[in-house]
């Protein structure tokens, strides 16, 4: 059971038991392949520590981060140890402007690092390790650990307020590195999975959620959103994989229940309650309904087997 390194919008730590209860009973993460095409913070992937499979996300900075965690964990940890507290004065040894892109003063170390992240050099000067270190630092010291970009693609989360933020996460980085080494890591649209999957593999889809309402807009993971048409295509895609004998589990917001029930032939939706770890409105945390749809029949689910064993053990 490895912990996620990053906090990520839509993180699935609260739903882990509900998700694992819907795995096929005979699925063995040390033998069968596992694929997670919308990785984000990867709560389920890191928890089950599969030995083979693929993970993917369209967010290039997130995938660069995981590549560095996988390939250079010690260098990443050492680089992160050099960062200062977010309240510290800006670091004179880095070139920086006293205002950011929107004209606001860069008056703390946090805002300096945010401006550096947003002004990263491209081409030959691109420093993949530095960018990964900055992503982790901003994720652990920014408000609520959110990742959000404005319409121009600039990360725009304000400084958070933490007593003792840990932006190094040495143990988590080392553990995550060992798990990431075993799988292929992609930076593509989720449909890549069609090319790599075989019957008997398990695919967990955790797309950006269709919003419950206009005030709970969870779709803003990055500048490129995931709209209602994308939700429809994903449903057809997942349904077709399931028809080929691939085990499919998919989570989404409660508003999708009717669509899944009406339009999918191979996926059964269930409603589950989950407490959101990140909400766009901090006042409004609490139970929200989500659905988990799966191709795994009730009789062959892992959770079902546990109940069965409990019934018959003495």
Which chain residues interact with ligand SAM by CB under 6 A? 8, 10-12, 37-38, 40-43, 56-59, 189-190, 206-208, 221-222, 226
Asked if 207 and 190 count as a contact pair (C-beta separation under 8 A), the reply is yes
Question: 42 or 142, CB closer to ligand SAM?
Answer: 42
Question: 9 or 267, CB closer to ligand SAM?
Answer: 9
CA-closest candidate to residue 27, choices 53, 46, 59, 3: 53
Alpha helix positions (H), 168-301: 170-180, 193-196, 228-243, 257-263
CA-closest candidate to residue 110, choices 84, 79, 133: 84
Question: 44 or 242, CB closer to ligand SAM?
Answer: 44
Q: Which two tokens stand for residue 79?
A: 């680089």
Helix (H) or strand (E) holding 247: strand 247-253
User: Which residue has tokens 């892109």?
Assistant: 101
Shortest gap between Cβ of 20 and ligand SAM (angstroms)? 13
Question: 13 or 174, CB closer to ligand SAM?
Answer: 13
Shortest gap between Cβ of 277 and ligand SAM (angstroms)? 9
CA-closest candidate to residue 9, choices 142, 152, 134: 142
Shortest gap between Cβ of 219 and ligand SAM (angstroms)? 9
> What would you measure as the largest C-alpha separation in the chain, in angstroms?
70
Shortest gap between Cβ of 83 and ligand SAM (angstroms)? 23
**Distance in angstroms (rounded) separating the CA atoms of residues 144 and 57:** 21
Shortest gap between Cβ of 140 and ligand SAM (angstroms)? 15
Question: 125 or 229, CB closer to ligand SAM?
Answer: 229
Shortest gap between Cβ of 312 and ligand SAM (angstroms)? 34
CA-closest candidate to residue 174, choices 81, 79, 70: 70
Question: 46 or 111, CB closer to ligand SAM?
Answer: 46
């Amino acid at each position: 059971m490895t912990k996620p390194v990053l906090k990520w919008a839509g993180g699935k730590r609260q739903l882990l038991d509900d998700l694992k209860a819907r795995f096929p009973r005979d699925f063995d993460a040390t033998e069968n392949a596992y694929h997670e095409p919308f990785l984000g913070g990867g709560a389920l992937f890191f928890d089950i520590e599969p030995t083979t499979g693929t993970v993917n996300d369209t967010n290039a900075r997130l995938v660069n981060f995981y590549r560095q965690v996988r390939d250079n964990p010690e260098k990443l940890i050492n680089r992160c140890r050099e960062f200062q507290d977010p309240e510290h004065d800006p670091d004179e040894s880095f070139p920086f402007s006293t205002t950011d892109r929107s004209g606001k003063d860069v008056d703390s170390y946090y805002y300096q690092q945010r401006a550096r992240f947003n002004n990263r050099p491209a081409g030959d000067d691109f420093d993949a390790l530095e960018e990964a270190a900055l992503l982790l630092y901003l994720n652990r010291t920014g408000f609520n650990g959110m990742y959000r970009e404005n319409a121009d693609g600039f990360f725009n989360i304000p400084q958070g307020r933490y007593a003792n933020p840990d932006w190094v996460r040495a143990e988590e980085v080392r553990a995550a590195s060992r798990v990431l080494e075993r799988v292929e890591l992609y930076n593509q649209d989720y449909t890549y999975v069609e090319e790599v999957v075989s019957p008997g593999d398990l695919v967990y889809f955790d797309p950006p959620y269709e919003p419950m309402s206009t005030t709970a807009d969870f779709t803003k993971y990055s500048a490129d959103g995931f709209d209602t048409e994308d939700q429809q295509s994903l449903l057809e895609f997942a349904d077709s994989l399931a028809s080929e004998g691939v085990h499919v589990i998919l989570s989404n917001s409660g508003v999708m229940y009717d669509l899944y029930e009406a339009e999918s032939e191979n996926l059964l939706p269930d409603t589950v309650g989950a407490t959101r770890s990140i909400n766009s409105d901090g006042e409004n945390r609490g139970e929200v309904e989500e659905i988990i749809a799966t191709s795994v029949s009730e009789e062959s689910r892992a959770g079902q087997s546990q109940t069965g064993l409990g019934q018959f053990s003495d």
